[in-house]
């Protein structure tokens, strides 16, 4: 069994993917702090409640074909990692040149994203250690 087939690890992989994409978008915002007319962007966090409703509404007929072996061909749209699309998220102020990037706000977003990423990695490592301990068995 692969780790991303375990729901906990699949969720952590998705969370880290989201946070990595958000870091890239924030870095682009910081890089364009002096670009006239630039509007900062951000990525909307996945809504857990929506995921639960979607999973609850799924029926065997609507979930499609399941791959049971790595040699099977994947069905279209069966990717587990959702694409994250940035959207315009202007900061609190706009300068005279039309740029609305506030460096302090972007740094706060970056620090928040980094802390969440570190927490996800820590949880991932602790979960791996639990699996290793279970695989070893009693001594």
Q: What is the pLDDT of residues 123-136, one digit of tens each?
A: 999 999 998 888 88
Which domain does 127 fall in, by range?
Answer: 8-47+87-139
Q: What is the 3-state secondary structure (H, E, C) of the chain?
A: CCHHHCHHHHHHHHHHHHHHHHHHHHHHHHHCCCCCCCCCEEECCCCHHHHHHHHHHCCHHHHCCCCCCCCCCCCCCCCCCCCCCEEECCCCCCCCCCCCCCHHHHHHHHHHHHHHHHHHHHHHHHHHHHHHHHHHCCC
94 part of a folded domain: yes
Domain count, the chain: 1
76 part of a folded domain: no
pTM for the complete prediction?
Answer: 0.69
Cα–Cα distances in angstroms (integers) from residue 117 to residues 60, 84, 114, in the given order? 33, 16, 5
64 pLDDT above the threshold of 90: no
The reported pLDDT for the residue numbered 7 is: 85
The reported pLDDT for the residue numbered 135 is: 87
Q: What is the pLDDT of residues 23-50, one digit of tens each?
A: 999 999 999 999 999 999 999 888 767 7
Q: What is the pLDDT of residues 94-124, one digit of tens each?
A: 888 888 899 999 999 999 999 999 999 999 9
28 part of a folded domain: yes
């Amino acid at each position: 069994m692969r780790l991303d087939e375990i729901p906990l690890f699949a969720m952590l992989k998705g969370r880290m993917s989201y946070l990595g994409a958000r870091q890239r978008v924030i870095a682009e915002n910081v890089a364009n702090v002096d670009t006239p007319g630039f509007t900062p962007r951000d990525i909307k966090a996945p809504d857990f409640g929506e995921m639960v409703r979607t999973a609850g509404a799924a029926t065997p007929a609507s979930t499609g074909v399941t791959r049971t072996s790595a040699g099977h061909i994947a069905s279209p749209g069966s990717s587990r990692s959702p694409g994250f699309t940035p959207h315009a998220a202007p900061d609190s102020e706009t300068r005279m040149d039309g740029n609305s990037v506030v460096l302090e706000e972007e740094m706060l977003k970056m620090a928040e994203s980094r802390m969440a990423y570190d927490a996800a990695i820590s949880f991932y490592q602790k979960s791996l250690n639990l699996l290793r301990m279970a695989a070893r068995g009693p001594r």
